[in-house]
Amino acid sequence: MGQLEPLRFTKMHGLGNDYLFIDIRDMEEVPDDVWKDYAIKMSDRHFGVGSDGIILIAPSKVAPVRMRIFNADGSESEMCGNGLRAMTKWLYDRGEFDPGQAIETGAGLLYPEVLKTEEGRASVIRVNMGVPRLTRQEIGMLGQGESTCIDEPLDLDETMLHITCVSMGNPHVIIFGPLWDEQTMARLGQKIEHHPMFPHRTNVHSVEVVDSHHLRMRHWERGAGLTLACGTGVSAAIVAAVLTERVERHATISVPGGTLEAAWDERTGVVYLTGTAQEICQGVFELR
């Protein structure tokens, strides 16, 4: 593995979904395999800094900046709602974010908005998460490409689950019912992530309906495992809940790390996600 100079990073989180942000805009190009190795080593919670992954603040040809996400296992993810809010805060707090600007992601151009500041720093951010994708082909699952997967059975050998699948630029499986505990979420989440139905793996979410404006969730994220929050998962959950007539189009979503507000606009089809983001610390990482 190639070794970089000591890397300056900023540790940030959205509701406990934590990432190490690295500004690479002035760096020479680094092979992806190197970033994958650094993601694994830096994310380790015992022998590294500790995080759900690293996020590169990278140059873009189509927007002021690009977000690249490498999960804790080294795999690359298309999009992260909590990471995007945190990146927006990173840019805003450093005077690099203009109202209405886009950020390039693996899910396309997305448009965050700072709703609230504290002492000149962004605290509450709303993200235009884009229009959900509902066909099997768009989600990246087997079956007839133009068909959807809404409340369909999935055989896990030990049990039969009913799943609804949504892509928010990355794939999500939603299972409605009583909220799974962490042990069940880890056990079944890992099995579903690697199910043959999803050749590129998938994120998995247990979702409990509290009422028509409130959901509770627990997450198993592809490449990261159990996390305290998943912004694209929350976005997928409100879409799945509306499609299956469980909630209204605006709801509060309770996750282990806190609460988010999600809305699926009926006119435009866009999902909006609102929540906080915090900076934890800054540091320098050097392989030894």
Positions annotated as catalytic residues are 80, 230
- Return phi, psi of residue 6, to 5°: -50, 130
- Give strand pairing partners of 105: 108
**How far apart are the C-alpha atoms of 250 and 14, rounded to whole Å?**
20
Nearest C-alpha neighbor of 271 from the set 245, 246, 253: 253
The CA–CA distances, whole Å, from 162 to 33, 151, 197, 206, 234 equal: 37, 5, 14, 11, 18
Angle at 55 between CA 50 and CA 58, to 5 degrees: 150
Cβ neighbors of 148 (< 8 A, separation 6 or more) are: 134, 135, 136, 165
CB 232 within 8 A of CB 172: yes
Cβ neighbors of 242 (< 8 A, separation 6 or more) are: 248, 249, 264
Helix or strand run (H / E) with residue 122:
strand 121-128
The size of the chain, in residues, is: 288
